[in-house]
Amino acid sequence: MAWDFQTDPEFQEKLDWIQDFCEREVGPLGHIFPHAVRSPDPKVRELVRTLQQEVKDQGLWALFLDEELGGPGLGQLKLGLMNEILGRYPAAPQLFGAAAPDTGNMEMLAAYGTEEQKERWLTPLLNQEMFSAYSMTEPQGGSDPNLFKTTAVKDGDEWVINGEKWFTSAGRVADILFVMCTNGMYVVPRETPGVEIMPKPRNHNHIIYNDVRVPADHLLGPEDGAKVLAQRRLGGGRIHHAMRTIAQCTLAFDMMCERALSRESHGAIIAEHQMVQQKIAESYAKLKMLRLYVLETAWKIDQTSTQEARTDIAAVKFTMARVLREISFDALHIHGSLGTTDLTPLQDMYAAAPTMGLADGADEVHKATVARRLLKEYRPHEGYFPTEFIPYKREEAWKKFEHHFAADPGLRESAEAYRKYVEKRR
């Protein structure tokens, strides 16, 4: 098996371009126009289109899509290295045509949509002429599809949808909603009569579907295929969240180190205090371990599939939330009172960590999944003691060495002498 931690020079040039472009254009844009991609102002939209054309000229537009689905087909490992940069700039994913929740919805459309559905919805989504939301979780069932109650009933040439969805992120500003029902995945235009968006929560919307009628061709994929589509969508989404989390952790770590060298306390810069040094050292180790694990998991997906790498995707998912929480917390503390304000990104990072532990399924669910899948690879030992019980191992070793002892009695004497020495020490 090849084992290489280097990036090929040609792709490194792309990464360098992304880094420079984000520092030079994306970062400043995000501070002046935080939601530039969705701005109704034609001047802002023109500026966005100009920047996006630069991305397209580099062949980096919609880089999350596989080649057979119409994207650049870069693979998850390269995507991870790119997201490690993009995740540092809030405006970057949308400027690169790779922002959730549209990414996952586009992937479902590309993989399961008919040609007519792709023309109607995928192309406008890719061009950011429309935006979408993913309406999956429910108030009573959370993210467990087995507890969902939202249904779609066929009535002539239409589907009639009834149910309630909770935490449909960006649902209020979406043009179309991908609604997961007990018997399929349906594309519902937000303006359809019967779609009732509750006032709260403001950004992650509570939506009631009350006799919502959509044409028969708004079913995406096969009837009763919602779980398959959801797994396709969420598997990729989880690893992409982890990739961007690396960027956030790196930003928090960079801020931590800079601050430690800039502030004094008790007659010395705080970087000389052991408790600060401990936070820096431990944060560095956590960041490096998370990064290597995420990139290895991305590499596994490229070599096999999302399904084959499911255990590692789930483990990465619950690990990233913890590492983000711990590193951002330490960075916040090193910044002191400033860290508790909204004048740096740290407060938002720390507040985002619990959300990351719930998005795309609660961490507890993923931990249980990882444990169950790993335990399938093991068997219980026989008798009272484990297979690594030293008396058992020693007995097996004596049997293995019998032919050596038979050929060389002196070797047996040496072994017997050492055994007596060990027993005497006990």
| 3-class DSSP string for 219-241 | EECCCCCHHHHHHHHHHHHHHHH
Q: Is the dihedral of CA 354, 356, 357, 359 positive or negative?
A: positive
Report the pLDDT value the prediction gives residue 1, as an integer from 0 to 100: 59
Question: Closest Cα to residue 74, out of 83, 87, 84, 64?
Answer: 64
Stated length of the chain:
426
C-alpha distances (whole Å) from 310 to each of 82, 211, 243, 314 are 22, 37, 16, 6
Cα 218 from Cα 140, distance rounded (Å): 26
Contact between 180 and 230 under an 8 Å Cβ cutoff? The reply is yes
- Distance separating the N- and C-terminal Cα atoms of the chain: 45
pLDDT of residue 142: 86
Locus of tokens 């009837």? 223
Per-residue model confidence (pLDDT) at position 306: 85
Contacts of 111 (CB under 8 A, 6+ apart): 69, 232
Determine the angle formed by the axes of helices 409-425 and 390-407, rounding to 10 degrees. 150
pLDDT value of position 252: 98
Q: How far is CA 163 from the centre of its chain?
A: 28
CA 155 centroid distance within chain:
38
Contact 278, 270 (CB under 8 A): no
Q: In the prediction, which pLDDT does 237 show?
A: 72
Q: How much is the CA Rg of the chain, to the nearest whole Å?
A: 27
Tell me, what's the pLDDT at 424?
85
Structural contact between residues 80 and 15, judged by C-beta atoms closer than 8 angstroms: no
Q: What is the pLDDT along the chain (426 residues), one digit of tens a residue?
A: 577 888 999 999 999 999 999 999 999 999 999 989 999 999 999 999 999 999 999 999 988 887 777 777 788 999 999 999 999 999 999 999 988 899 999 989 998 999 999 999 999 999 999 999 999 999 998 888 889 999 999 999 999 999 999 999 999 999 999 999 999 999 999 999 999 999 999 999 999 999 999 999 999 999 999 888 988 787 667 888 899 999 999 999 999 999 999 999 989 999 999 999 999 999 999 999 999 999 999 999 999 988 899 999 999 999 999 999 999 999 999 999 999 999 999 999 999 999 888 888 889 999 999 999 999 999 999 999 999 999 999 999 999 999 999 999 999 999 999 989 988 887
Kindly tell me the burial class for residue 415, based on how many C-beta atoms sit within 10 Å of its own C-beta (0-12, 13-18, 19 or more). middle
> Quick one: which of 107, 101, 93, 96 has its CA closest to 65?
107
Contact of 114 with 79, CB cutoff 8 Å: no
Quickly tell me which residue has 């944060």 as its tokens: 283
Beta bridge partners of 65: none
DSSP summary character for residue 125: H
The confidence score (pLDDT) of residue 112 equals 94
Domains of the chain, first to last: 9-113 (1.10.540.10), 132-220 (2.40.110.10), 227-375 (1.20.140.10), 390-425 (no CATH)
How distant, in Å, are the alpha carbons of 56, 163, 280 from that of 277? 43, 53, 5
